[in-house]
Amino acid sequence: MAQQAVAQHAISIRLACKAFGISETCYRYQAKLSDDNALIAEQLIELTEENSDWGFGLCFSYLRHVESCCWNHKRVYRIYCELALNLRIKPRRRLKRHAPEPLKEPIRENQV
């Protein structure tokens, strides 16, 4: 809205930002990383289709060490979760424990 006010009414950026209650840095901000995010998403989808049992850790280490991509792990994980690629954590099976045997009482004296 501030950009429209500057373009249509020929007012200064400072005045438009003050009128709409935003900072000038917010007015001038332009996102640059959307192309990289699409590239990360494509590579993650390819990896998980080839290796369906790979979790985030293996995918990220493959991208970092084999593909030599230097993306931040938090950024890659955010995209990984947005694509709903995260695997279900399988619950561990409990071991069946047998009932303990009753303690044996000594039959004679000095028997342990």
Which residue reads 């399988």 in tokens?
A: 90
pTM for this structure?
0.54
Same domain, yes or no: 79 and 41: yes
The answer as to whether 98 is a domain residue is no
In tens, the pLDDT along 35-55 reads 788 899 999 999 999 988 888
Measured distance CA(30)–CA(92) in Å, rounded:
47
pLDDT for 96 beyond 90: no
Q: SS3 for 39?
A: helix
**pLDDT for the residue numbered 98:** 84
Confidence of residue 10 (pLDDT cuts 50, 70, 90): confident
**pLDDT for the residue numbered 65:** 92
Q: How many domains does the chain have?
A: 2
Domain housing 62: 32-88
Same domain, yes or no: 50 and 23: no
Q: Average of pLDDT values for 86-93? A: 80
* Helix, strand, coil in percent for the chain, rounding step 5: 55, 0, 45
The answer as to whether 99 is a domain residue is no
